[in-house]
Amino acid sequence: MAKGNPGADSSSPVTDQLISTATQQFGQAPTYWGRYFTSPTTGGEVEYRHGTESPILASHNIRLLPVARQTTHVNGSESQGVSDAEANVSDFLDTFGQAYLAAQGGQFLLFLDVEGNPSAGSPSLSLEYYLGWAKTLVSYSQSQTDNAVTILPCVYGTHFDTQTWENVSAANAQGATCNGAWIARYYYSGCDQPDWDDSIIIPAVTMPCEVLLWQYQENCCGGTIDCNQTNPGVDTQTLLMNKLLLPPSGS
């Protein structure tokens, strides 16, 4: 078995110290870092703060893994999905600007955060919501940039959330694509990086897209980061890393 490239995600802003902590945990520097996007008007430290975080990520050559955070909405209607996608696109475009995004390749992944824990107020994904969200993410990003930028829908979810993955598959069959899955399953104790194992990670449904990432443990390093790795069995350079933004050093 093999291991993929390590990366972190956090609900607090990226700092030099946090990167140092993650580097010590992984035994090497993370190559990507997950942070949240909701809308241009969303405040708080959970939301990506480009003014301080972009220069830090750029200086460490760490790519941004963007996560669309409207977790309580994802069992909603198609119109809710449309509205949220427009807000997500506006946030991403306002944060980095069309010119910079186009110069960096113009195609970027955005992972919809689906926690799939209804008892905790974090529902599974509905078919209707994903149809609205995924189609609008693509069309609205293109219409707002004269086709210079396309934001591609992906999904973060848990291994056991069968409802979510079945609805992603059904939506994909109706033209609402999924460009990658990021699976959370905390199979092992501790935060050391385990070998990749499809039998542990891949959900027991027919997936409409490649599983690109595994979140193998949460709340590591004193609760400051979650730990992830890329899938060593697929071409994650092409499918993932080339479609993650290296933030500008001067933001």
- Which class does domain 6-243 fall in? alpha beta
- Reported as a single tens digit per residue, the pLDDT across 15-37 is 999 999 999 999 999 999 999 99
Residue bearing tokens 């949220």? 84
- Tens-digit pLDDT profile for residues 158-180: 999 999 999 999 999 999 999 99
Report the C-alpha gap between 130 and 164 in whole angstroms.
10
Residues 141 and 151 sit within 8 Å (Cβ to Cβ): yes
Place of tokens 């994802």: 74
pLDDT category at 119 given cuts 50, 70, 90 is confident
C-alpha radius of gyration, the chain, whole number: 17
Q: Residue 117 pLDDT more than 90? A: no
Predicted TM-score of the model (pTM): 0.97
Which distant-in-sequence residues (6+ apart) come within 8 Å of 152 by Cβ? 107, 108, 109, 110, 137, 138, 177, 179, 243
- For the chain, the residue count is 251
